[in-house]
Amino acid sequence: MQEDRFPGHKFLPYLLIAPSIAVIIVFLIGPFVQSIRESLFVSTPFGTKTIYVGLRNYVRLFSSPDYRSSVIATFKFSAFVIIGGLSISLAIAQLLNQKIKGVGFYQVALIWTYAISPTVAGVIWASMFAPATGLIPYIVSKLSGGYTLNWMTNGNIALFVVATAATWKMLGYNIIFFLAGLQNVPDEFLEAAQMDGAGSWKAFWRITFPMLSPTTSFLLFVNMLYAFFQVFGLIDIMTRGGPGNATELLVYKLYRDGFIHLNTGFASAQSLVIFLVISVVAIIQLRIVTQKAIYSR
Amino acid sequence: MKLRKNFLIILILTLCLLLSVGTALAKPVTITFWHAMSGSRLGVLESIIESFNAAHPDLEVKPLFTGSYAETLTKYVTAYPTGTAPNIVQVYEVGTQTMIDSDAIIPVYKIPEMLGETWDWAQYVIPITHYYSVDGNLWSMPFNSSTAMLYYNKDIFKAAGLDPNKPPTTWKEMEEYGEKILASGVVDHVYSGGWPDWIFEQTLAYNDHLYADNDNGRTGLAKKVVFNDDFGYMVFDTWVRLHKKGIYIYGGVEYEANSAFNAGQIAMLIQSTSSLAGIIKASKFKVGTSFLPRFEGYPVGNSVIGGGSLWITKGQSDEELRGVWEFLKYLSREDIAIKWHKGTGYFPASSGALKTLLDEGWFSADQTYLTAFLQILAGRRDTAASTGVRLGPFVAMRDLFRAALEKAIAGELSPKDALDEAAEKMNALLKDYAELYGK
């Protein structure tokens, strides 16, 4: 039996959490229920006419080749951003954790990308790769003797550039957390390992990496949400889903269909599908990764 | 410290007093106006509104920049049912059918009648009124109208051994000139453009070719697109072929290609006329402008109006509606229309303004500003094909076209397959739209 923490005030706890519950109902549950409802209808943009269509929006969604390619692009993109981004960040964080001269400067220089707004980051990368005026196509053309690197007409390059930009944008955030995690690894452990004759490579994988697992699992989760939802700004600035839908990730497709093409029913169906996918992935992740994570104290 | 606190209190009290006196003295009718004008256009628009407000102490137009055209329309769509829609909203030409079907607006032709006035609608440049008319009546106020034209770099033409006063007039010449310019090695690519979907619509209309059935959606809702025929394939093929040859370089969705043109990295640009003022300002070479290239041997049509127009929300008080109408009349005033044109490159919508510009020598000082007028006034305007297409799910359809072009250029699909695929998807959208509107 739990002890009574609010003796004599039976309803006080409920009163205290009421504001949070209200916010959740108004801003999360309400819209959620509304999207479920709307996903069963088609309606005119101004809502002058609404027709019940049952599951037609879902049927169309799953039979649409565009949606399938959007799913594939999203998974490719996320894999790149999560795996590539986390590996690079960890490597950089490890380098930054050395006792070298001017480490403060390097830390700031590598972390500040996180402070750049998606718009600015998008513009920077888009102008670097601009087919006719950009620096990188220019270098490629000079080095290769005339090859035109045009990411506006090559879907694979476009996806790669957008994913690289997204990874770069998130590096700062990942590095901060990895750095904090690394600094929490007690020196004694590493010293003991050294005494036992382990090289720095072995010490990293046997001691540092396992001890980082709470940080890693947290970052995995955050990066997944980032790759699924928060890259919207970058895509909108850089490619708008093009060329030929190559960078039309799920969340961007939802935005185009719902807010630009004004097709709310279809977009609601998409939002529910994304919700389900994310929930499943999140549950798996929390089950597996968190159980294996080693909490040092 | 205490002194500072007292001072603050006094300051706040004085401000409150001033504000209350201000509102007590004059209670102007507020007209809200949502628009999508950014960059240099915003400054011109704001100064016009300021001068209007100064001249009308009883009225206050409050402009609000609501993002891109698409975002502005989305905001309007969500605001209307909650009663927070503005009095006036600027909508791009692709949103025209959506607004006509919205049941949220008063067609502008009805407004003078409602206020007991008469108004001569024929004073506007005819191709513009045609574009925004339903059964001969104007539904939205012409405001920022543009069309597409050819921009070219005279210096590059000269350097490549071409006559700088002879820009290409046909697509065949585009190709020939392109090969010559490439061979001269002055630039790596010859031309690019913005709004590829719109340029395709322009190309069809300019050769008097229909885009969709039911007279381009002007005599009834369009049920299917008709551009995937021999002519459409030829246009599409030509573009893809020129891209393969390196003459054309795909330039993105909107204005991304302008910087390449301004920097002298391409010799020609097919772009909206509204870019003219910006291009002249940003480029260091001699800019030439000319008509869009045609396909030889096909009928003559006209270039199509683009840009935006102003729509008036229904259900306003008489007072507000009168204010809105005053503002619309003010925008059509000759001097204001001229200011708008000179500041942006958009057409001045009235023929009176056109005459004044001509008389004061504006066009002879800079002939590039005349090109767009001559182009739309020289073209035919008695066919649906040359008036331009009107479609319900137009925005989504343009996205589909753009994707098709990108796929064909990337070599993912053959030009014909890409165009057919887009047409098929567009027809599905049109069918849905027709189902929804029960027509």
pLDDT at site B19: 55
- Contact list in B for residue A155 (CB cut-off 8 A) is 406, 410, 412
A130–chain B nearest CA distance, Å: 8
User: Would residue B10 count as lying in a domain?
Assistant: no
Q: Residue B399 is nearest to which of A132, A148, A256, comparing CB atoms?
A: A256
pLDDT bucket at B345, cuts 50 / 70 / 90: confident
pLDDT at site B350: 86
Q: In what order do the strands lie in the sheet with B148-153?
A: B191-193, B268-272, B148-153, B287-290
For residues B423 and B417, what is the distance between their CA atoms, to the nearest angstrom? Answer: 10
User: Quick one: what percent of chain A has pLDDT higher than 70?
Assistant: 96
Q: How many structural domains is chain B composed of?
A: 2
Q: CATH number, domain at A195?
A: 1.10.3720.10
Across B180-188, average pLDDT:
94
Query: Who wins on pLDDT, B128 or B13?
Result: B128
pLDDT in tens, B389-409: 999 999 999 999 999 999 999
Of B335, B359, B383, which closes a domain?
A: B359
Beta-carbon count within 10 A of A150 CB: 23
- Which residues touch B302 (CB under 8 Å, ≥6 apart)? B127, B205, B206, B208, B375, B376, B379, B380, B381, B386, B387
Q: Please check the confidence at residue B208 and state whether its pLDDT lies above 80.
A: yes
Across A144-168, average pLDDT:
87
pLDDT in tens, A8-53: 788 888 999 999 999 999 999 999 999 999 999 998 888 888 899 9
For residues B143 and B331, what is the distance between their CA atoms, to the nearest angstrom? Answer: 8
ipTM score for this prediction? 0.80
pLDDT at site A235: 93
DSSP B216-266: HHTSS---SB---SHHHHHHHHHHHHHHHTTSB----SSSTTHHHHHTTSS
Q: What six digits make up the tokens of B335?
A: 């001097």
Residues B236 and B111 reside in one and the same domain: no
Whether B407 sits inside 8 A of A261 (CB atoms) is no
DSSP A136-190: HHHHHHHHHTS----TTT-HHHHHHHHHHHHHHHHHHHHHHHHHHHHHTS-HHHH
Residue burial B287-315, b: 16+ Cβ < 10 Å; e: rest: bbbbbbbbbeeeeebbbbbbbbbbbbbee
For residues B107 and B118, what is the distance between their CA atoms, to the nearest angstrom? Answer: 15
- Contact list in B for residue A246 (CB cut-off 8 A) is 406
Q: Where are the alpha helices (DSSP H) in B65-170?
A: 69-79, 96-100, 111-114, 126-131, 154-159
Residue B332 phi, psi dihedral angles, 5° rounding? -85, -10
The rounded mean pLDDT for chain B is 91
Radius of gyration of chain B (CA): 24
pLDDT bucket at A79, cuts 50 / 70 / 90: very high
Q: Please check the confidence at residue B216 and state whether its pLDDT lies above 60.
A: yes
User: Would residue A188 count as lying in a domain?
Assistant: yes
Residue A41 phi, psi dihedral angles, 5° rounding? -125, 160
pLDDT bucket at B366, cuts 50 / 70 / 90: confident
Residues B280 and B335 reside in one and the same domain: no
Query: Who wins on pLDDT, B101 or B12?
Result: B101
DSSP category for residue B303: P
Whether A132 sits inside 8 A of B253 (CB atoms) is no
Across B278-297, average pLDDT:
94
Residues B133 and B54 reside in one and the same domain: yes
- Contact list in A for residue B395 (CB cut-off 8 A) is 260-262
User: Would residue B222 count as lying in a domain?
Assistant: yes
Searching chain A, which residue's CA lies closest to the CA of residue B100? A46
pLDDT at site A296: 47
User: Would residue B166 count as lying in a domain?
Assistant: yes
pLDDT at site A297: 42
Residues B127 and B203 reside in one and the same domain: no
Residues B153 and B142 reside in one and the same domain: no
Whether B77 sits inside 8 A of A46 (CB atoms) is yes
Residues B330 and B311 reside in one and the same domain: yes
Whether A46 sits inside 8 A of B409 (CB atoms) is no
Residues B285 and B425 reside in one and the same domain: yes
For residues B269 and B263, what is the distance between their CA atoms, to the nearest angstrom? Answer: 12
Whether B74 sits inside 8 A of A132 (CB atoms) is no
Q: How many structural domains is chain A composed of?
A: 1
User: Would residue B7 count as lying in a domain?
Assistant: no
pLDDT bucket at A2, cuts 50 / 70 / 90: low
pLDDT bucket at B193, cuts 50 / 70 / 90: very high
Whether B81 sits inside 8 A of A47 (CB atoms) is yes
Write out the residue range of the structural domain in which residue B433 sits.
148-303+374-437
pLDDT at site B10: 63
User: Would residue B14 count as lying in a domain?
Assistant: no
Residues B258 and B393 reside in one and the same domain: yes
User: Would residue A137 count as lying in a domain?
Assistant: yes
Residues B189 and B97 reside in one and the same domain: no
Strand partners, B131: none
Q: Rounded to 5 degrees, what angle do the CA atoms B105, B109, B115 make?
A: 90
Write out the residue range of the structural domain in which residue A219 sits.
61-292
A48 touches chain B (CB under 8 A): yes
A97: exposed, middle or buried (Cβ count in 10 Å: 0-12, 13-18, 19+): middle
Whether A261 sits inside 8 A of B253 (CB atoms) is no
A50 touches chain B (CB under 8 A): no
Q: What's the Cα-to-Cα distance from A224 to each of A34, A75, A210, B207, B318, rounded to whole Å? A: 26, 10, 21, 50, 54
User: Would residue A37 count as lying in a domain?
Assistant: no
Strand partners, B91: B309
Searching chain A, which residue's CA lies closest to the CA of residue B400? A244
pLDDT in tens, A215-241: 998 899 899 989 998 899 899 988 888
Q: What six digits make up the tokens of B104?
A: 């949220």
A240 touches chain B (CB under 8 A): yes
Across B88-111, average pLDDT:
95
Substitution target from B249, B254, B417 for chain A, most A beta carbons within 10 A: B249
B266–chain A nearest CA distance, Å: 8
Of B359, B389, B423, which closes a domain?
A: B359
Whether A243 sits inside 8 A of B81 (CB atoms) is no
pLDDT at site B439: 55
User: Would residue B17 count as lying in a domain?
Assistant: no
Q: Please check the confidence at residue B46 and state whether its pLDDT lies above 60.
A: yes
Cα atoms in the 13 Å half-sphere on the side-chain side of B374: 13
A53 touches chain B (CB under 8 A): no
User: Would residue A13 count as lying in a domain?
Assistant: no
User: Would residue B173 count as lying in a domain?
Assistant: yes
A259 touches chain B (CB under 8 A): yes
Whether B406 sits inside 8 A of A132 (CB atoms) is no
pLDDT at site B24: 46
pLDDT in tens, B34-45: 999 988 789 999
Strand partners, B191: B248, B268
Residues B320 and B391 reside in one and the same domain: no
Residues B47 and B159 reside in one and the same domain: no
Which residue's entry shows tokens 């102490």?
B57
User: Would residue B233 count as lying in a domain?
Assistant: yes
Q: Please check the confidence at residue B3 and state whether its pLDDT lies above 60.
A: no
- Contact list in B for residue A45 (CB cut-off 8 A) is 77, 98, 102
Residue B43 phi, psi dihedral angles, 5° rounding? -60, -45
Q: CATH number, domain at B282?
A: 3.40.190.10
Query: What is the count of residue pairs from A and B with beta carbons less than 8 Å apart?
Result: 111
User: Would residue A91 count as lying in a domain?
Assistant: yes
Selection from B301, B98, B308 nearest residue B211 by Cα: B301
Residues B70 and B118 reside in one and the same domain: yes
Whether A132 sits inside 8 A of B243 (CB atoms) is no
From A156-170, A231-245, A283-297, B345-359, the region with the lowest mean pLDDT: A283-297
User: Would residue A103 count as lying in a domain?
Assistant: yes
Whole-structure pTM value: 0.85
The rounded mean pLDDT for chain A is 88
User: Quick one: what percent of chain B has pLDDT higher than 70?
Assistant: 94
B39–chain A nearest CA distance, Å: 16
Q: Please check the confidence at residue B5 and state whether its pLDDT lies above 90.
A: no
Q: Please check the confidence at residue B322 and state whether its pLDDT lies above 60.
A: yes
Cα atoms in the 13 Å half-sphere on the side-chain side of A81: 30
Q: Please check the confidence at residue B7 and state whether its pLDDT lies above 70.
A: no
